[in-house]
Amino acid sequence: MIELRDGIFELYRKAATSLPPDVEKALRHAHEAEEDGSNAKTALSAILENIRVARETERPICQDTGVPVFFVKAPNGLSQPELKDTIIEATKFATEEVPLRPNAVDIISDKNSGDNTGVGFPIIYFEESPDSALSIKLMLKGSGCENVSQLYKLPFEELKAERDLDGVRRCGLDAVHKAQSRACPPYIIGIGIGASRDQVTRLSKEQLLRRLEDTNNIEVLSELEKRLLNEINRLGIGPLGLGGKTTAIGVKIGVNHRHPASYFVDVSICCWANRRASLIW
């Protein structure tokens, strides 16, 4: 498992120091769209320079290197406990060598573990792979944007949000309006819809792993993603909350079946530093 540990370490390094090409491309397009001399364009210039320096120097893009969230698809027969131990070992190595900021704090003692490992830290979701390949996807989710993410139970009278896709649209707009600039826009928005709280919070995070230019294979959701992105950008919050045309650069929506008596919607907000990387082993 040493080679796999080293591969996961490199996954950490890549996610922490080099923004995915699709995200950087979207930020460059946003920079071009903002007015010359505006605060929005200046903010995006600083963000793009930060991305360049981080990649060239192999230093973390942000001081908050976030909560590591792994989505693992393992072939039948591969030991999940061994995989978990390998991920934990790689996490300790990455904390020291990338370096990552130690972010794992014990709930009882309030002490930091110092190596980004602890009870339930990092977060690892396992799923059986349909083929012989091991797939590992890593997201470094910043705490600032996690703190402003929202969970809704529809219907929600305050928003006039019913149990339908228009209700989902209202939830997405409400979450961003509440977040304002507190989570470092431009944002990427992941939305999960389904039967239970735990189901939709995972599903919304998984949407943040999608490439920004992909198209939802459910046409009605694809249209809702486009509409919601347009409406979010009309809020005028703008890059870093300084006003402008770009409050978000992507909206992605995933759905599961729901119970007849429930309709849960989770809106997972990600800052511009959507740090994700993947490995096929």
In a shared domain, residues 117 and 198: no
CA distance linking residue 156 with residue 56, whole number of Å: 47
Number of domains in the chain: 2
| Domain boundary, last residue among 83, 108, 141 | 141
In a shared domain, residues 80 and 181: no
Say if 38 falls within a structural domain. Answer: no
Say if 258 falls within a structural domain. Answer: yes
pLDDT at 168: 98
Q: Among all chains, which residue has been given the structure tokens 């490992």? A: 117
pLDDT at 1: 80
Here the tokens at position 61 are 């893009």
CA distance linking residue 158 with residue 86, whole number of Å: 46
Say if 40 falls within a structural domain. Answer: no
pLDDT at 131: 86
- Find the DSSP H helices in the chain: 2-17, 21-33, 39-57, 80-97, 143-147, 165-179, 197-207, 219-233
The pTM of the whole model exceeds 0.95: yes
Tell me how many degrees the CA angle 209-215-221 measures, rounded to the nearest 5. Answer: 95
Give the residue numbers spanning the domain of 126: 2-13+61-141
Of 207, 164, 214, 160, the closest CA to residue 188 belongs to 207
Q: What is the mean pLDDT of each run of 10 residues along the chain (281 residues)?
A: 94 98 98 98 98 97 98 94 97 98 98 98 95 95 97 98 98 98 98 98 98 98 98 98 98 98 98 97 92
In a shared domain, residues 192 and 105: no
Here the tokens at position 38 are 């505006």
Ordered DSSP codes for 147-189: HT-EEEESSBGGGTB-SSHHHHHHHHHHHHHHHTTTT-SSEEE
CA distance linking residue 43 with residue 168, whole number of Å: 30
Is the Cβ–Cβ distance between 246 and 272 less than 8 Å?
Answer: no
In a shared domain, residues 67 and 158: no
Q: What is the DSSP letter of 71?
A: E
In a shared domain, residues 155 and 226: yes
Say if 29 falls within a structural domain. Answer: no
| Domain boundary, last residue among 141, 162, 179 | 141
Q: Is 213 exposed, middle or buried (0-12, 13-18, 19+ CB in 10 A)?
A: exposed
- Cα torsion 51, 54, 55, 59 to 10°: value is -150
Of 128, 120, 136, 146, the closest CA to residue 9 belongs to 136
In a shared domain, residues 125 and 203: no
CA distance linking residue 82 with residue 84, whole number of Å: 5
